[in-house]
Each structure stands twice: as structure tokens, then as C-alpha cells.
Structure 1
Amino acid sequence: MNNLPNKTSRRRLTSLLFVGLALSTFYARSFYYHELDAFLVIEHSGGVQCASFSPDGFRILTAAGDGNAILWDMATLRRNRNGKITPGVSGIMRHESLVHCAIFSPYEKYITSLSDSGAVSLWNPDIANRTSAGISMLQRTHQFIPPGYSSARSESSEAMLNPLVDNMAFHKEYNWLLTFSGTSDAWVWDMDSLPTGVAAPDVKAFLPHESTVTFARFRPGSDNKQQVVTASDDGQAILWNLDEPDYKTIENSAPVPVPARMAVMEHSESISYFAFSTNGSLILTTSSDDTSKLWDLDQLLEDDSTPTKPLLKATLPHDGDVLYAAFSPDSRKVVTVTASAIRLWDIENPKTAPDGKTVFNLLALISDPVGNTGYAAFSADSHRLLTLGEQQNATIWNVDELVLDENNLPIPAKVAQVVFPAGQLRAALSPGEEYLMLSTSGQDQGVWNISRYLSGHGLSLSYQGITFLLPVFITWLHQPAWQGFKLR
């Protein structure tokens, strides 16, 4: 009996056990990650080309290769014939050809879709006509094709479109729509000029190039509201000023406004993508010349012998075509993606190389082959990074905590991972980051949804037309992913 611990010793032992349990839990959360399980299904009859959320996050659009775009109501859940929980269908939008993408206008006034025929269609999301078979069909209010589109596309039977990006975008403040469709030009449309009965909106700007336009977006920032950047297959990215147009006649059409070129950024080969910093002052271009370049758009360099160029802050070297790039919201880090690896760079603390060039520190290299997937996204607080890999995984990383991989190289700590059928994916965040949509094109494709992945609510995966929502246990406490929705 004398060998038994007394009450004080037992209390100390209990305290040590609790401390050990807490330390082991912290260790586990630092070096282990969660694998995710499915709980919600979204069915689609055709191969999904893209997906996007409504501004309020309760409705979802999918565009497919079978010519259908579908509006889903996430607030009306039901069970399908297999007993799986799925959202209700608010309406179907039928097209004459493959649908490249479909997006909501600001304030959800209408849905805009772009098909392979080059036609831009507008749909009323609140008016659906029910067929005799009980199918809800949304009402198409307008349809138009950019002037000269048919002849420009006649040289090739396939659309020269980047399958990883949406080919339309709305301005954040003005009701302007930016489109590009596999031709050597992009268009900005004034959607406020669409009264009932008018076939097409007024052209706000016509943006011509010498080769195929691969990407285009409005420049963010309060001082940049009239600016657009377009990239093309000839290795040029152009900064346009919509406030200073000239006018040009295209194939017997009425003269259209052509904005002034403010600056040109150049690579030796095609530019596939670019990303802006949060305030729009910096732009990171990606190219098939094995580099990504960081430019300062607020510092334009005048040179009589060459086009005006922004200040080139740094060239980031890679071992292959750079497919994708993203800034962290705090603009301290960038991520770049090639077919063989994902790189995390520190751009807040540049260094000067012996040759006088600016060099950024490579924080981590994730050797996870991504094929042509080419996607990465930071969380709103800049602490998490989501990437897609060709080896059947989507991964969430903690970029604030670096650990060593099997080759003793630094990589971010893995937080969560989901296994999915390999394929070519792209993604779009919903407002407030409650969801992240990931979609693929082709036969083996689908739509991924991450629901509140910062607070641990759910991730979705679809393969060959069936989408699964999966819980993401980033926090230890799990809450139902359909919280706030009604099951019918």
C-alpha cells in the first residue's frame, strides 16, 4: 500500500496526462490531415465545362457539353432515386451547341451564358416555363454574336479557348460584360443598354489582337475602373484604357470604340493566364516560355523605340509551361503552377542577385504533378492554400507552417485532402468563400464544390456527371453541411 501514489502524486500524474494529450493533439494537427467523405450529390446529364455560384451563394450554375446549363437551388434539398441528397433544379437553359460557361450578373438580375457557336445568351433566373414533361425551362431574353465572329472562327473547327478559365466576366461596379471566344479579339458590352426588344447591348469597347485572345479581365482597384488587361497567344498582354477610345468599322457594322493601349507586357511565347494583386497595382503573367513575370502597373516606362511597358519587378524561372498563378489577398505571397509542381514564393522580401536583378525567395515547392489542371487559390486570410493534383487529390495547405517532405524539402503543412478521379480541373470561389467550385471539361469531368472550407463545412466532387459534397474537417467540430437549407 505504501508503494501507491498519494493524492498529490495522482493529481500531478493526471495533469501530466492531460498535458501530454494536448501536446499529442497539437502534434497530430500539425503533421496529419483529414481525408474527406461524401454526403451530398448533384447530378448532371452532360460533361460539365464550368460552374459558378450566385452572389448570395444559395444557387449554382453548371454549363455542360450537351448544350445544357442548369440552375440549381441549394436551399431546396431533396432525395433522388438512389436516396442521395441533391439540390432542386430551378431551371434548364438549352443551347444549340456546347456551353463554355454561365455566370450571374451583378445582383442576380440575369444569367449570361456563352456557347460554342459564339452566341452570348441572357436568361431570366426568376421566370421558368414548365414543359408537359414537368421540366422547368428558363426564359431566354436576349441572344447576340459579336460582329465578325463567324468568319473569324471559320479557319478552325475547334474553339481556341483556354479550358481552365471562364470566358466572360462582369465589372465589379459597372454593368459591363467582358467576353472573349477563341478569336483575335475581346469585347466589353454595356449591359445597361438592354431594354426589352433590343437584340444586343451597346459595345463599350472592342479589343483587337494579332492572335488568339487567351484571357481577359477588368483591372481591380478604385483608380482603375476604366482599365482592362487582355492576353494573347503571341506572348503579349495589353493594358487598355476604356476612357480614351477611337472608332473602327468591322465588316460593315457600325463603328465600334477601340480603347487606347496604355502598356504592353511581353513574353517570348504564349501568355495563358495572369493574376492581379488585391489593389490591382501588380500583375503576374504566366507563359509557355517557362517563366512567370511580375509587373508594376502603377509604374509605366516611356520608351520611344518600344511600346510603353510597366516596370518588370522580377522574372520567376520554372521548369516548364506556367499554367496558373495567384496572389495571396495580403499580396505578400504568390503561387505558380506548372505541370510538374506548385511553387510558393515570398514577394514581400525581395533580394538582389549579383547581376543586379531582383530575386524572390522560393518558400516551398510541392512536387505534386498537376498535368494540365493548373489551379491554386488562397483563403481570404492568406493562411490556407488549395491546390489540385493530377494524382487524384485536391489538397488544402497551411502556408504559415512549413514541414519537410520525404526529400527533406520544405512544403506547407497539409490540412485536408480529398481523392477524386483524375482529370483537368478549374475553379471559382463563391462570395465570402463559403464555397469553391471546381469543374472539368471532357468525358471524365465534373464539378467540385468546397463549402465553407475555412470553417470546415464541406467539399464536393463530381465524376462523370455526379457531384458529391464532402465535409472538410479543418476544425475539429463538424457541423452539418446543409445547415440553413431545407430538406424536402
Structure 2
Amino acid sequence: MLLTVCDDQRIRFWSTAGDSLGSFVHDARINSAAFSRDGRQILSAGDDGLVLLRTLAGDTLKRLDHPQGVTGAILSADGKWLLSAARDENVYLWELGGDSLSGHLQQVLPHGRTVHSLDFSPDGQHFLTASDEKTAYLWPLRAQDVSGDALLQYRILLPHDGGITAAGFSPDGRFILTAARDSSARLWKTEIDTLPIFHHDRVVMTAQFSPDSREVLSAARDGEVALWSAAGEQLQVFHHDDDVRTAQFSPDGKRILTASYDGTARLWSLEGAAPVRFTHRDTVFSAVFSPDGRQILTASYDYTARLWRDNGDSLAIFRHRGKVNTAVFSPDGRQVLTASDDGSARLWRSNGDSLAVLPHDDWVYGAVFSPDGKRLL
């Protein structure tokens, strides 16, 4: 079964043959949607001010009302807590225990500007919020701290000199990485001491930890991608000819894959070999590794997604009638999912054979597989 989200205010279910099995509805644009960690529930947030947690059968488990549209929502790893960010510039902390459909609102946390990032720490002891007000906040999530003024008393400020564009915990939960419009990414200890600042000359668009949390990768609008040690030493710099859209480590942490508005994705070896180029006729909007790290999947504004060997050989082309906004592998690497401005998401075999066309009434910005690969969002 597959699941897609579109600007027509619906979350749709499909069979892998492309047959429609049903849909969920918001009364306004859907701004975020995700599977629960076990893949058995779907969380969605929309401009109708609702966050809905539903079973795959469509039964509503939680309906959380907000005074304005909701831009994002996430679940804690244990499913007991939920964070939501609304257009009223507040973050809402909900406890989901019990049978109440409306959940239990524990806190409304004012931020003063639009909130861009929400994250729970892997151990569930903290959560992180970040906004355009130049500050990320680290909050405790112990039961005794979430009521009254305790959260505000114990929050820790992580300041920048510009609005924060992204923030998240490292995989081991020991560090926090923030990226901002002040042309820097910064690394912090969760404990909390401020650690190195990773400076660029332009806005930092993305920052990511290596799989072992020992290195940091950051990419900026000037086409520069920098690799840093966690101690703040700049190890290597990689350059594109235009803004960098995405940058990520390979699964083994030994290579870096970047995508740029210069019409290329590039695979960089950390041992200094010349980069492998994957060329499109227009902006490469995303580039990802296959689960085993041996293949590359790119999505481009030239109306195609392409599958490549990591040596640059082209393996397959997946064609749309509009810009391709995303392309991802299934967890087993055997299928490819694409989403396009042509109003469709499409499921393919990795050899390029079409398996299903999932029509929508508007542009499709993103699509992902569920953790078990049996559903799609």
C-alpha cells in the first residue's frame, strides 16, 4: 500500500498497482505528514489548524486543535509526546497518553517568529525548537518539568546572529547542530557548552552529522560545502558553481554527495580523488545514496530523475512532465519513488519500469516510503 500527500488537501492511499484505496482529508493545505516510527500510524498537520494522528484504516486516534494553521508536527520515539508548530509563532507540547481524542496540552511555548525546526532527542529526555528569532531552544522533557513555568526556567538558549534555518540532534544525542542566516553552522553539547562555530560567507542551507557523529558537513548558498571535525577544524572544502541544494554523507561516512543549482550532483571522496559528476540539464534538486551506498539517485528540474552507478554510469531514467522535486529509494533499494510538479507521484522498478502512477490535483513536493517499504507518504 502507498500513501501520498498533495496540495489538494488530501492524503491518499493506493495499492502498488496504482488503484486508489481511499483518502484522508484536511480542510486546508497539508503542511507536513509522516509515519510513526513503527509505520502503523500517520501524523499530519495542516493550515486548518489540526494535527491528526490516524491509523492506516483511517481511524482518528488524536485530533489536536490549534488557533491557526500548523506548519509542522513530530512524534517522540516512544509515541508519548507530540510537538507542533503553528503560524501563531508558538510551539505546542502535547501528551498523548489516555483515551482522550484531544490529547493533553501541556505547554504553549512562544517563540516570536516562524518556527522552522522541531526535534526530540534520541533518548527522549529533551526536545529542540528553532525559529527566525535567531535562537534555538533546548528544553527538558522530564515529567516534573513540563507543567507550569518549569520549562521556561530550564530552557537553554542557543543563539545565532541570524534566523535559524535548521536544527537537530546528532544520532547519539550528545550534540546539537544548528544552521542559520548568519552564514554559520554551530555545534553544541546537549549538556550544554557552546562548541565550535562553522563559518561560511553566505547563508548556510544545510548541516549534517557524519554517521559516527565525529564530523560535520555544512553547505552554503555560495556553492561551498565544508567538512569539519567536531572540534571545529575545517578538514576539506568542496565547490559547486552555484548554490548547493543538498549535501549528505554516504552510509559508511567515507564519501559526500552534493546537489546543486549548477545542474550537477557530485560525489566526493574524502581521500582526495577527483569528484564524480552526475549531470542534468537543469537544477539538481536532490541527490541520495542507495541503502548500500553503491548507487546514486538524482532529481532534477529537467523533468527527470536518474539512477547512476557511483562511478558515474547512467543506469535508468525516470521521466515526468514537470520538475522532479524528489526521488528516493525504497528501504531495500529495489524501487524508486518520484514526486513532480506534473501533479503525480510515481513508483518505479530500479531498472526504469513504471509500476504505478499516482495522480494528484496539484504539484507533489515530496514522497517517502514507510520504514518497512510497504507504504508510501
Indicate the TM-score class for this superposition, using the shorter chain for normalisation: 0.7 to 0.9
Whichever residue aligns with residue 288 of structure 1, its letter is Y
Per the alignment, in what secondary structure is the counterpart of residue 159 of structure 2? coil
- Structure 2 equivalent of residue 413 of structure 1: 355
**Deviations 1:67-102 (CA, angstroms, capped at 9, x unpaired):** 1223455665655xxxxxx76655433322211111
TM-score normalised over the length of structure 1: 0.58
The Cα shift of 1:366 comes to: 2.8
- Structure 1 equivalent of residue 147 of structure 2: 129
User: Does the 8 Å contact 1:383/1:399 carry over to 2?
Assistant: yes
User: Quick check: 1:383 aligned with 2:345?
Assistant: no
Identical residues among aligned pairs (%): 24
User: Quick check: 1:239 aligned with 2:189?
Assistant: no
Per the alignment, in what secondary structure is the counterpart of residue 352 of structure 2? strand
- Structure 1 equivalent of residue 194 of structure 2: 203
Per the alignment, in what secondary structure is the counterpart of residue 123 of structure 2? helix
Whichever residue aligns with residue 97 of structure 1, its letter is R
CA separation of 1:399 and 1:331: change in aligned 2, threshold 3 A? farther
Distance 1:120 1:203 in 2: 12
- Structure 2 equivalent of residue 26 of structure 1: none
Whichever residue aligns with residue 159 of structure 2, its letter is P
User: Quick check: 1:176 aligned with 2:157?
Assistant: no
Per the alignment, in what secondary structure is the counterpart of residue 116 of structure 2? strand
- Structure 1 equivalent of residue 287 of structure 2: 325
Distance 2:110 2:362 in 1: 28
The count of residues paired between Structure 1 and Structure 2 equals: 324
User: Does the 8 Å contact 2:256/2:267 carry over to 1?
Assistant: yes
Whichever residue aligns with residue 83 of structure 2, its letter is L
The Cα shift of 1:191 comes to: 1.4
CA separation of 1:398 and 1:220: change in aligned 2, threshold 3 A? same
CA separation of 1:144 and 1:160: change in aligned 2, threshold 3 A? closer
Matching of residues 9-88 of structure 1 within 5 Å: 32-38=18-24, 39=58, 40=60, 43-57=65-79, 59-72=81-94, 79=101
Distance 1:89 1:52 in 2: 15
Per the alignment, in what secondary structure is the counterpart of residue 172 of structure 1? coil
User: Quick check: 1:454 aligned with 2:369?
Assistant: no
Whichever residue aligns with residue 244 of structure 2, its letter is I
Q: Which of 307, 312, 321 is residue 345 of structure 1 equivalent to?
A: 307
User: Does the 8 Å contact 2:120/2:128 carry over to 1?
Assistant: yes
Distance 1:333 1:260 in 2: 30
Distance 1:180 1:30 in 2: 38
CA separation of 1:393 and 1:53: change in aligned 2, threshold 3 A? farther
Per the alignment, in what secondary structure is the counterpart of residue 61 of structure 1? strand
- Structure 1 equivalent of residue 349 of structure 2: 399
The Cα shift of 1:377 comes to: 3.1
Distance 1:180 1:214 in 2: 7
Comparing 362-371 and 177-186, the one that deviates more:
362-371
Gaps of 5+ in 2: 1-14, 25-57
CA separation of 1:317 and 1:44: change in aligned 2, threshold 3 A? farther
CA separation of 1:42 and 1:177: change in aligned 2, threshold 3 A? same
- Structure 2 equivalent of residue 486 of structure 1: none
- CA RMSD between the two structures: 3.2
Q: Which of 248, 254, 259 is residue 275 of structure 1 equivalent to?
A: 248
Distance 1:63 1:30 in 2: 33
User: Does the 8 Å contact 1:320/1:338 carry over to 2?
Assistant: yes
CA separation of 1:121 and 1:31: change in aligned 2, threshold 3 A? closer
Distance 2:193 2:78 in 1: 28
**Deviations 1:200-258 (CA, angstroms, capped at 9, x unpaired):** x312211111222111111124xxx4211111111110111234xxxxxxxxxxxxxxx
User: Quick check: 1:230 aligned with 2:218?
Assistant: yes
- Structure 2 equivalent of residue 366 of structure 1: 319
The Cα shift of 1:334 comes to: 2.0
**Deviations 1:345-394 (CA, angstroms, capped at 9, x unpaired):** 1315x4xxxxxxxx3214122315347xx333333222343433334444
Whichever residue aligns with residue 139 of structure 1, its letter is L
Gaps of 5+ in 1: 1-28, 80-85, 131-136, 154-158, 162-166, 193-200, 244-258, 301-310, 351-358, 404-411, 428-435, 437-449, 460-488
The Cα shift of 1:105 comes to: 1.4
